[in-house]
Structures are given as C-alpha cells and as structure tokens.
Structure 1
Amino acid sequence: MGFVAAEGIAPQVSAVWPYDTYHDLRWLFVYHQWWPEFVLWLVYVALTRGALTTVLVVLAWPVEVVPRPPVRQLLKRNVGISVAVTVLVVPWAVISVAASVVALSWVLLASLLPMFLLAPFLQRAAAVGPWWRGLPSLSLVGWTLLNFVVLTMAGAVAWSVPGWWTVPVAAAAGVLNGVLWNRTVRAAVLAPRLRWARVPVAPIAALLALVVPLLIPSLVSTVPGNQLRTEDVLLTRPLPAGVTEAVVVLAGYGSAYGGEQPRDPRVERFSYRGLGPDGRPLPYRPQDTTISVADSVGLLAAQVERLHRRTGRKVALVGESEGAVVARTYLARRPHPAVDALVMFSPLINAGRAYYPPRGREHGWGVVTGWTLRAMFGLGRLAGAPGNGPDEPFIRSLLDDAPFYRNQLMCPVPGVRIVAFLPYTTAAEAPPGDYAGIPVFQTPGVHGGLLNRSLVQDRLVNFLRGEPVQRTRREYSLFQRLGAAWQAPPLAISANPVWEESEQPDPALTGKVCQPTREPG
C-alpha cells in the first residue's frame, strides 16, 4: 500500500503477548470514526486474538513431556484472557497514540515500559494458571527480553528494506515469533516451582505499571544536561562580538518567566502573555504556555515588531520545543521582513500524526481515543499529576494544523537562515524517515536539554554570526530505525475530512518532508 511509516509495525502481528494486542490496539485507536465501530472492532480483536493464541499454544505445547489440555478448554481460557489483556493494554496503546500527536520521546517511553514490565506475566497466561500468582521464571524473563529485541530489530529491518522486500522480512519475523511462542509456552508449562506462589504478583505489577507514566518525567529530569535549557545560554551573558542581530528567545512548553532582564539589551525573552505597557515581556507561568499556536504567533509578531523598532536591527529567533513550533509557524503565517534567522532546539518533528475530535463531537477519527485520554488525564489529576488534558489549545493546534507540522516544520523559508539542533531522543519521536529539508546538528542529549553546553553554545554563536552549522551522525538514523516498531501508525492526511483542504503531501506515504504540494482537486 506504500504506507511506509507503518512498515516497522508489521512483525508484531504474530508476536507473543502483550505485544500482539499492543499492535492491534494502536491501529484501532487511530483508525475508527465512531463508538459502535470501535466497540465492534474491539470485540473482534479480542476474540480473534484469543482464537489465534489458542492455535499457537496447541502447536507449541510440549506434549512429549506434559499432556495438553483439551482444545476447548484452551480456547475458553485464551479468549477470556485475551479480553483481560485487551483491557489491560488499552491505556498504553492510547498513550502511544498521544505520543504521535505531541512527538515527545518520553511519552512514547511511558507507553512502552509498562508493556515490558507486564510481558513475563502475560506470556505465561496463555498456557498455565493461575498465572497471576508467583514470580515468572528466569527463563521466561529471558525469553521476554529476547522477544523485545527481536521485534525491535525486525521492525528496523522491515522499514529499511525497499519495496516488497518488507513482505519476506515480515515473514521471517513471523518465523521468529513462532519460535518465541514455542519457547515461552514450554518455559511456562515446564517452569520449576514458583517463587511467591501465593502472592498475586501480576496484579501488583499491573498497578506499578499504572505509575510508570507519572515517573518518566522525573526520571528524564535526572539525565545529565537536562536542566540546562536553551534560554540559559543566551539570557545569562552578553551576545558575543560579531552577532549583529537582536534575538528573541522562545522557551518551551511548561516553562516560566519571572521578568528577569537578559544581560544583553539586544536579547528578549518571548512572553506567552505578551508585552506590558512599557513594552517589556510580561512574566508568565507554566500554564500560560498552553495557549494556541495562533495566539502565540500573534504575540510573537507584536514582540518582533517592537524589538526591531527599538534596536533597528535584524532579528533572529531561537526557539525550543513549543517555542520552535511557534517560531516556525510565525515564519509561515506572519513573517516580518526583519527576521532573517531561526534556530530550533528539539523541535516537535512530525507532530500531529493522529487525531481526535474536540470535546462535544461524537464522530470523527479517534473519537474514542480523545475520550479515553480525557478520562486518563482526569484520573491523573485526582492523583496529583500535572497537565491540563488533551483539549488544551496548544495540543488542539497540533491536531488541527497537523499537515503543516508533519510536512513543513523542518522546511526552508526564503530569505531566512535556519538550523535545527536535534538531540538523539528526537530520533525516536517519529517513524523513520528524512524529516529535514534544512541543516541539522545532531547531538547526544534528551528533549529540551543540552548535554554538551560548550559545544552547542559555540555552534549557536557561530550560526548567529552567519557561519553555516551542520552535523549528521550515523547513529541517529540507526536510532530512528530501532524505534520503528514502537510507533503508532499515522493517520493518513487524505483520510481525515478536517484536513481535506490541505494540499500537503503525506510523509507517512513518502518518508520525506518538504515535497511539492499536490494540485487542488
């Protein structure tokens, strides 16, 4: 079908629990339009998975050592467990789809780690009972780890090979999945005496899995360099000699500004609340960064105009994460002729790959996904988790204007020099592909953090002085491919009526951005 963005997911069709159900639900949460359709397909997925698992367990059972239970008994067991696994995996599949909306690697990690945690328990559920009690054997844990590695490598190869070669690669992955089913069923049936045999370990692990999304941001914050933000590089010291432009620094989502003045009068901090009566950027709180991109673009336009008048200089924009999105959208919608340079740190590459309708609409692609996210955010707020939910204006901007962010964010702008600094985690934030039509500087680091301050600062200053800055690393492309298996499938641009007026090509079908626009009609 030429749907290149989804090729890395194919090897999971016959994977061992829970990755097979994780595969099915990611497709379903992206590709449904109304509640009855979703419920019908959800029932179909659960029943079909139960039947297929029964066949696989029958084929894998070590009958030469242990008598196999009747097929009817295994079918009843596996259909029931399939329903339970489907319910258990739903939150993580939904989070995976949310990750494709905001293009943040830590959100994708929050959807994947619970799968890895639950896998040893669910992989023995198909064959033995009571599977929820006791610790899984070391051999089963080892097969679980190998299962994850096989799916990751198979997804990378399936995406990397050209054309129809994906089919034999997926078939080979199916053979490996068959071997894994054989080994995991044998490990479960022939397991030695269980440790903690009376302890309901699996339910405890499931409860721990619910906490994982809350812990990921805190864990990411401990990575060296994560606390060093882009604004710290420019706001705490005068601009070096040779930089002739005035600079607007746009911080990212969840940032805050107390009104501190930069060391250099040519530098200003962008305010998500706009300018005060004296023309200075107003202090803002983290919740102020949730405004729509259109509102932020309007505020940036006013700030650029005033800064240009005050200094009489050309203006460079330096944006991080949401700030990079705002700055690039500004250049596309309301550019000022004085702006001649843009630096983007950790831009949200290929955001808006899924969709769900606004609150109040009961029909549209991803309608159940939207309500599931609202319910999950509501429960999270009761538990003290941060966040304003999936309907905040910034998120809706990514959803409603997705064709632009998927295809044009990393494209050149006539008359403007642009460079994007990409940390390695950005490689896992979208399916593999060529997502840059501008110079990029790839560097070790996490989203929004500067692992090597001196290196990035030197390159940033060099760029503001007018020098070309670019560096690509082989391992970056490798990380992209290794993440191919764990992305949610994108919603095709042509499928969504909300985007029907867009003439943007679809990177999900080409693996490239900045392609010529389609002719209307």
Structure 2
Amino acid sequence: MPSRARLLALLVVAAAVPLAESLVLVSFRFRQAEGLIGQASAVWPYDSYHDLRWLLVYHNSWLTFALGLVGALVVRGMLSATLVGLAWPARVPRPSARSLLLRNLGVAAFSAAVVAPFAALAVAASVVSLSWVLFTSLVPMLILAPFLQRMAVGAGWWHGLPSAELVAWSLLDFVVITVAGGLVWTAPEGWTPVVAAAVGAINGLLWNRMVRVAVRPSHVRLRWMPVVPIVVVLALALPLAAQVLSHPGNEKNTFTPPIFNNPLAADVPYAVVLLAGHNSAYDGRPAADPRVERFSYAGLDAQGRPLPYPPTRTHQSLASSADLLAVQVQALHRRTGRPIALVGESEGAMVARTYFRHRSDTPVTALLMFSPLVRTGRAYYPPPDASSGWGIATGWLLRGMFDLANLGSSAGSHPDEPFVRSLLEDAPFYRLETMCPIPGVRVIAFLPTVTAAETTPGPFTKIPVVEVPSFHGGFLSRKVVESQVIDFLAGENISQVRREYGLLQGLAAAWQAPLLAVDANPVWRPTAPPGRPFSSAKICAPLKNP
C-alpha cells in the first residue's frame, strides 16, 4: 500500500474507534464518561488504561471480569497490531502480520498487568474523591509511557533508555489526551462524535510518529541494562510509597485552625463545633473560646467534654460519627444556649453532612464545609465476603495493594474500613446530596481548586462555594479564609467562583474512571433518584425511600 494510502488508513482506523465509543455514550446520554473517548485509540499504555478503567468499574462477577479482560486484550492487541503496521516506515523492513499480531497481543497482556494497579487507584479515587489518589495513579503512567511505547515494534525494547525524541512525543501524547478529554466533554452533544473522530485522527498521527521514532535506528544509552523491569518496579512502588507516607504520625493534636486558638468575634452568634478530617488526632485540650469545641470521634466524657482520640478512630463509619456528633451538639447547645455552627474539614465535612441526613429538628443552623469529598461513591466494590457484585475484582486488587502498603502498621487506611464502606454503601446520598441546600441551615463549601480534578465535569453544587487556590485540606488556617469564616458566621453571604475551576474540570475529564450508574447497582437501587441512569441532571433530586 502506498505511504499516503497507509497514512489515510491509519487515520481512519484511529478515528473510527473513538467515534464508535462516542456514539454509544451519546445514545445513553452518558455525559460524565465522554472525557475518556479520546483514549480509545491512544498510544500505549494509555489505551490499556482506558480499557481497564471501564472493565474495573463495569463487571459484576469473576466470570464477566475474566471474559471482559480476555476480550479487551484480544481486541486491543489486534487494533494496535493494525495501527503499528499502518504506521511502519515504508523504507524499513516490516515484520509479518502474524509476527505483529502475536507481539501486540503480548504487549496488550503485559501492559494490562502493569497498568491494572494504576487503573484500580483511579477507581478508588472516584470512590473517595481525593485528588492525591488520582495523581498517584497518573504519575507512574507518565514515567512508564516512553519505556512501554517501544514494546510493539521489536525485540530488545526492555533494554536501554528511550531516546529523548520518544520521551518528547510521549509527553505530547499525554498533553493531547488531556486537552482532548476536555474538548470531547465540552462539545455540544450533537458534535461529540465529530470531535471524537478528530481526536482519534490525531491519535493516528501520534501512532505514526511514535512508531517511526521507535523503529528508527538510534544510539541507545545503557543498552546493556534491563531498564524497563527496573522502571516498572519503581513505578509500581510509587503508589505503595504514597500510601505509606500518608500513614498518620505521632501527633496528638493535628487540627488547630485559628478559630480553635483564638476567641470568637463578638458578632458571631453561634457556638461552634470543629470537625477534623481522616487520620486526625486530638489530645483533649480545650479551645481558646468556651463556645468552641473540637468534635471527638471518641465521644464525650462524663462531664460532657470531648475525649481525646487516635487517628484510627476516624476510620469508623460516617453514621457512627454522626451519632456521636448529635450527642455533642446537644450538649454544647445546652451548655451555651446558642445555635450551633459546624465547621468540618474533609471527612469532618462528610460527618457534618451525614448528621443532617435524618435530622430535621436540630439546633445546628450553619454548616461550613472545607474540602468536602465532592461526588464520592462514583464506583463500587462489594465487601470481602461477597461472591459477586459490581467491581468485585477491583476490590481485591485494592485490598492487595493496601495490605502491602500497610505491612508493619495498624494505623494505615484500608479499602474496607467502615469510613470508606460508608461512601460505597450510601453512594447515592454522598454522590448527589453532599453539595445541596439543607432547609433551615446556612450552608457554604470552601473548595480547593484541586477539587476540580476530583470529580467528573458538570454541575455538582447548588450551595454557595468559595474556590481557593490550594490542595486538599489545610487552608482553613489562611488569614483570608479565616476572615471569610468569621464573616459567614457573623451573617454575611459569601461566594467566590474562580474562572479556572471549570477549565481544570474539563482537563481532568480524561483521567477519571467512568461512574457506575446508580440504577445499575442493586445495593443502591432502593435509593436511586428518578430519571435516566446516566443523566447528569440528578444533583439534589429527591432520592427514593429505601
């Protein structure tokens, strides 16, 4: 086939795959997953990352997982063999079609094995809506990409360093996928297939360049060293190291914002309960103002004072913590005679929001949420004693990873700890109701801009928000934020939306795991909102009574 004809065929094949996926998603109105479309024909290993995220979310038994995995490997191997063959330079002898097919089937299997832990972390990120979990899954992919992209073209790919040109093309591939995810998602629904086909054609050009660079003879540094196995081991160790580093230390009081250390302003009519986040600790010391208390995950002592607690107490279920909060709220209200304001950070914000779920008669009339976990529970995996259920293989993969990271420590987080299972079992509430108004309560959320990468694009809030350039948690101690907290508690209405927030949401769309439809999961179905399963217009819609 002449070079121009092969290039045209390459672009057509690369465009046809995302076009087909876009037509399926548009027909189901599965708007939140459209950011993944561009990776359907992407260069290794991002194509495997695309396939495995879909598979890890949408399988409900070991049989469907096994069949889906085999099918994905066969289809991906055949597709990449076709793309490599069409992209092969005309003046370089090309392996036979059989040789290319066998090599790319092997590449598909190897790439899936390497990428599976990172895809599982992406699913975990959609359960807990924590950006560091998502970033932990992406950084190793960036490192691995230029090493793995030599696999499909010939032997000896696992020795030596990739060329600088291959690294540059690999980085450009990541940028293209990121921008393409935002473009596909933001395109009007009728134009989504057109944009998807255009993105696929760009993937074809990238395949053309990557194959040529990988095939073309060049000086390979450290040709004698088995670099790829070393890099793969180091990349796989990164998520484990991140989990180890996140283990709580020996701090006795990890949450002391200014409102804890300073007296309340005279014009604040509330008594305040401060709720710290996951893996926080408390030594029992009182706040500077008697109208302010730290919430204790261990409850109150006989005198009604918050008890000290270790980080492991924050691992209990959100319902259990909310019950303890209800007791503390009533005690503080009786002691001060004032209405109560709740100021919660991260898990503390989720405890506070859970408190209102089944309580209408309450002295709490203000809620300030800092770094709340926005749209959690977008995926599922059953408890370890289950024999089936959506994401069953995902759950065991995550358990193995966290068990390995927690060796020698009893304080580390775990995918089946009661707090995480709260988000999994009550996902419709936390996914759809966290950022909704509460009758009779003034509510505001302070969101770090990194939250944009934690949730799927689209509407997710119907309460006032203050968007702060920051990472997750910790910014409650900033002077400008402290001033806004006092102003809100004094009765002012506050809202601050940043322009870049929506842009960051779009750019992160390519790296999210597809959400599991609420109606698809029998565990969630009793509380599913009415409407189409994949509709995005369900935020704050009334939930069914279980």
The TM-score bracket by the shorter chain reads over 0.9
User: Which residue in 2 is equivalent to 1:8?
Assistant: 35
RMSD: 2.0
User: Which residue in 2 is equivalent to 1:344?
Assistant: 369
Change (3 A) 1:385 1:155: farther
User: Which residue in 2 is equivalent to 1:376?
Assistant: 401
Range 327-336 or range 146-155, more displaced: 327-336
Shift of 1:164: 2.4
Counterpart amino acid of residue 457 in structure 2: P
Show CA shifts across 1:246-267 (max 9, x none).
0000000010000111000000
Show CA shifts across 1:383-434 (max 9, x none).
7696242111000000000000111100001110011000011110011111
Q: Aligned to 1:24, which of 45, 51, 56?
A: 51
CA distance in 1 between counterparts of 2:316 and 2:532 reads 27
How many positions carry a matched residue from both structures?
514
Range 376-385 or range 66-75, more displaced: 376-385
User: Which residue in 2 is equivalent to 1:153?
Assistant: 179
**Residue 431 (structure 2) pairs with residue 406 (structure 1):** yes
TM-score w.r.t. length of structure 1: 0.95
Matches within 5 A, 1:468-483: 468-483=493-508
**Residue 245 (structure 2) pairs with residue 212 (structure 1):** no
Tell me, yes or no, if the aligned pair for 1:134 and 1:195 is still in contact at 8 Å: yes
TM-score w.r.t. length of structure 2: 0.91
CA distance in 1 between counterparts of 2:205 and 2:540 reads 42
Counterpart amino acid of residue 364 in structure 1: G
Q: Aligned to 2:519, which of 488, 494, 514?
A: 494
User: Which residue in 1 is equivalent to 2:301?
Assistant: 276
**Residue 147 (structure 2) pairs with residue 118 (structure 1):** no
Change (3 A) 1:512 1:443: farther
Shift of 1:61: 0.3
CA distance in 2 between counterparts of 1:443 and 1:219 reads 25
Q: Secondary structure at the match of 1:147?
A: helix
Tell me, yes or no, if the aligned pair for 2:241 and 2:405 is still in contact at 8 Å: no
CA distance in 1 between counterparts of 2:266 and 2:532 reads 41
Tell me, yes or no, if the aligned pair for 1:490 and 1:508 is still in contact at 8 Å: no
User: Which residue in 1 is equivalent to 2:354?
Assistant: 329
Counterpart amino acid of residue 476 in structure 1: Y
Tell me, yes or no, if the aligned pair for 1:505 and 1:515 is still in contact at 8 Å: no
CA distance in 2 between counterparts of 1:219 and 1:137 reads 33
Range 198-207 or range 11-20, more displaced: 198-207
CA distance in 1 between counterparts of 2:532 and 2:379 reads 13
User: Which residue in 2 is equivalent to 1:41?
Assistant: 68
User: Which residue in 2 is equivalent to 1:186?
Assistant: 212
Range 268-277 or range 69-78, more displaced: 69-78
User: Which residue in 2 is equivalent to 1:426?
Assistant: 451
Show CA shifts across 1:187-229 (max 9, x none).
00014121000111111111111222244479999xxxxxx98
Tell me, yes or no, if the aligned pair for 1:50 and 1:79 is still in contact at 8 Å: yes
Query: Structure 2 regions of 5+ residues with no counterpart?
Result: 1-27, 248-252
Range 308-317 or range 204-213, more displaced: 204-213
Q: Secondary structure at the match of 2:526?
A: coil
Q: Which runs of structure 1 show a deviation greater than 6 angstroms over 4 or more consecutive aligned residues? A: 217-221, 518-521
Percent of aligned pairs sharing the same letter: 54
Tell me, yes or no, if the aligned pair for 1:253 and 1:322 is still in contact at 8 Å: yes
**Residue 382 (structure 2) pairs with residue 367 (structure 1):** no
Change (3 A) 1:518 1:457: closer
User: Which residue in 2 is equivalent to 1:83?
Assistant: 109
Change (3 A) 1:162 1:505: farther
User: Which residue in 2 is equivalent to 1:134?
Assistant: 160
